[in-house]
Amino acid sequence: MLIDSHAHLEMKEFDSDREEVIKRAFDAGVDFIVTVGTNLALSRKAVALAQGHENIYATIGIHPHDAAKIDKKTCESLKELAQRQKIVAYGEIGLDFSAIFHLRKNK
């Protein structure tokens, strides 16, 4: 089984050929793709993409570079998204202790 565990299919760079990229990946033998949201808007797009494709799953999160900008509303929105089907993790928060601190602080 081959899993692409860190794709960014929701990003604008794939707007013109996203479905073709996905098809090529599966045709090449990729069994599953995990697409990783890096902010709230892209996390929402990742969720929608996962829900629209059988073998695509999503993570949601805030990239460490943006950790200082998150607030309680952002955290609440992420928690809501996390309840949806095909969400496999909080991602893109890495080991950035600033991001972890902000997520915990805004529970």
Contact 32, 53 (CB under 8 A): no
CATH, residue 36:
3.20.20.140
Buried b (16+ CB within 10 A) or exposed e, 72-88: eebbebbeebbeeebbe
pTM of the model: 0.85
Kindly give the confidence (pLDDT) of every residue in the chain, 107 residues in length, as a single tens digit, with 9 standing for 90 and above: 999 999 999 999 999 999 999 999 999 999 999 999 999 999 999 999 999 999 999 999 998 888 888 899 998 999 999 999 999 998 877 655 555 555 566 55
Packing angle between helix 72-82 and helix 97-105, nearest 10 degrees?
90
Task: Count up the domains in the chain and report the number.
Answer: 1
Give the range of the structural domain holding residue 34, as residue numbers without chain letter. Answer: 3-105
